[in-house]
Amino acid sequence: MGKASRDKRDIYYRKAKEEGWRARSAFKLLQIDEEFNIFEGVKRVVDLCAAPGSWSQVLSRKLYLPVKQLPASKDGDLPLIVAIDLQPMAPIEGVIQVQGDITNARTAEVVIRHFDGCKADLVVCDGAPDVTGLHDMDEFVQSQLILAGLTIVAHVLREGGKFIAKIFRGKDTSLLYCQLKLFFPVVTFAKPKSSRNSSIEAFAVCENYSPPEGFNPKDLYRLLEKVGSPSGGDDLDCSSGWLEGPNKVYIPFLACGDLSGYDSDRSYPLPKVADGTYQSLDPVQPPIAPPYKRALEIKKASGHGIRDLEKLPLDS
Ligand code: SAM
C-alpha cells in the first residue's frame, strides 16, 4: 500500500503524522484517558512494551512537559516515566528508557531503582507478540504477555494504582477478566474509537490496585492458576464449566473516545494543497532497530529477497 493510499484508508495513521506521534496507537491511550481519566494525580508511570514510543510521547506531553514548563518547577517535582521494550527507541523528553524483557521479573527491580524505591501510580502495557493470524494462538501469547505485565505490576504498582493493558478478545477473555479482578476491584474492557472494529484488540482498564491480603508477588502464578483451574477456589473459578446461569461472568465492555469522531474503519478524502495535489508526510520517527531491519538490508543488497535469509547463521 502506498503512503497516500494508507493516509486515505487510515485516518489515525495520517493524523498521527500531522500531530507528531510516532504511531497511531497514541490515539488509543488518549481516548482511554478521555473516558477513564487515567492520568489524574500520576507522578510515576511505567510504559511496558513502549517502542516505537507513541504512548511514551503521550505520557511525556500529558504529564512531564506541563510540569516542566511551569516557571517555578524544580527537578523533584517532575513526573518520572520509565519505558521498557525489547527494542531500543529514539529518545523522548522526560522518558527514561530501559531495553529489557518484561517476562523477566528482574526488569521490575530496574524500574524500582529508577523510582528510588517508590512505587508507580500507573502501569501501561501495549505489548504485542508478532501476530500469526491464528486467533487462539495469538490470544494465548498475548495473555502470557499480560500476565508478565501483571508480574511487573505486582512488584511496582502502589495500592490504589491503575494498570492499562492491551488484550486480544477471544474464548478466554472471561478467564483473563477474573484473573485481573483478583487484584483490581474495577476492571473494564475498553475499545477506543481508533482501534479498528475488525481487530480483536481491546484494552483492560484496571483500577484501584488492591492485592489480596498478605499477597506475595512470588505467589502470583499459583493464585492465577487457582482462577483458571476447574478445581480452583469456589467463587473465583472462571473456567468454562462455570459460565452458566448465575455464575456467568459479565465483562463490562465500553467503547471510548469521541463516538462522533473519526472512524478507524472508514476512508476519508485527502486534504489537497493549493496546486490540487496531496502531500503525504513521512513517519515521525521510524523504529531505530526493528527486527525486520536486517532482512530488508539483505533483500536490498542481494536483489533476491527473503530466501537468502535461510542461509544466514541464526545469530546474525
Ligand atoms: N505502545 C507502543 C507505541 O505506542 O509506540 C507500541 C507498542 S508495539 C504495538 C508492541 C511492542 O511490544 C513492540 O515494540 C515489541 O518490541 C514489544 N514487546 C513484545 N514482547 C516484549 C517483551 N517480552 N518485553 C518487552 N517488550 C516486548
pLDDT tens profile 193-208: 999 988 889 999 999 9
Provide the residue ranges of all domains of the chain, joining segments of one domain with +: 3-228+241-287
- CA dist list (Å): 160 to 157, 169, 171, 181: 8, 26, 29, 14
- CA dist list (Å): 225 to 97, 125, 231, 237: 33, 22, 10, 10
Note whether ipTM > 0.90 here: yes
Cβ-based neighbours of 265, under 8 Å, separated by 6 or more: 196, 197, 198
Q: Sorting pLDDT into bands at 50, 70 and 90, what band is 79?
A: very high
Q: Which residue has the higher pLDDT, 51 or 307?
A: 51
Number of the ligand 1 atom closest to the C-alpha atom of 22:
5
3-class secondary structure, 95? strand
CA-closest candidate to residue 145, choices 162, 164, 123, 167? 167
| Residue in 162, 166, 191, 193 annotated catalytic | 166
Task: Give the Cβ contact number of residue 201 at 10 Å.
Answer: 19
- Binding-site sequence positions for S-adenosyl-L-methionine: 53, 55, 85, 101, 126
- Report the C-alpha gap between 207 and 185 in whole angstroms: 7
**Catalytic site includes residue 166:** yes
Is the distance from CB of 87 to CB of 48 less than 8 angstroms?
no
Cβ-based neighbours of 218, under 8 Å, separated by 6 or more: none
Q: Sorting pLDDT into bands at 50, 70 and 90, what band is 295?
A: confident
127 pocket-lining for ligand 1 (C-beta < 6 Å): yes
Q: Sorting pLDDT into bands at 50, 70 and 90, what band is 241?
A: very low
- Report the C-alpha gap between 228 and 179 in whole angstroms: 8
291 pocket-lining for ligand 1 (C-beta < 6 Å): no
Three-point CA angle 249, 251, 255, nearest 5°: 165
Residue appearing with cell numbers 491511550: 29
Question: Could you tell me which CATH class the domain 3-228+241-287 is placed in?
Answer: alpha beta
- Binding-site sequence positions: 53, 55, 85, 101, 126
Mean per-residue pLDDT for 24-44?
97
In this structure, the dihedral spanned by the alpha carbons of residues 227, 229, 231 and 236, taken in order and rounded to 10 degrees, is 20
- Report the C-alpha gap between 84 and 104 in whole angstroms: 12
| Predicted pLDDT of residue 289 | 80
Peptide bond into 185 cis (omega under 30): no
pLDDT above 80 for 2: no
Q: Which residue has the higher pLDDT, 295 or 29?
A: 29
pLDDT above 90 for 132: no
- Bridge partner residues of 157 (DSSP): 120
Q: Which residue has the higher pLDDT, 300 or 201?
A: 201
Q: Which residue has the higher pLDDT, 89 or 74?
A: 89
Q: What is the pLDDT of residues 248-271, one digit of tens each?
A: 678 888 999 888 889 998 899 888
Mean per-residue pLDDT for 43-55?
97
Extract the C-alpha cell encoding 71.
516557571
| Predicted pLDDT of residue 225 | 82
The CA radius of gyration of the chain, in Å to the nearest whole number, is 21
Phi, psi for 31 (deg, rounded to 5): -75, -30
209 pocket-lining for ligand 1 (C-beta < 6 Å): no
Mean per-residue pLDDT for 50-72?
95
Q: Which residue has the higher pLDDT, 137 or 159?
A: 159
3-class secondary structure, 159? strand
- Report the C-alpha gap between 47 and 53 in whole angstroms: 9
- Burial profile 140-159: b = 16 or more Cβ within 10 angstroms, e = fewer: ebbbebbbbbbbbbbbbbee
- Report the C-alpha gap between 168 and 145 in whole angstroms: 11
As a whole number, the mean pLDDT across the chain is 87
Is the distance from CB of 78 to CB of 93 less than 8 angstroms?
no
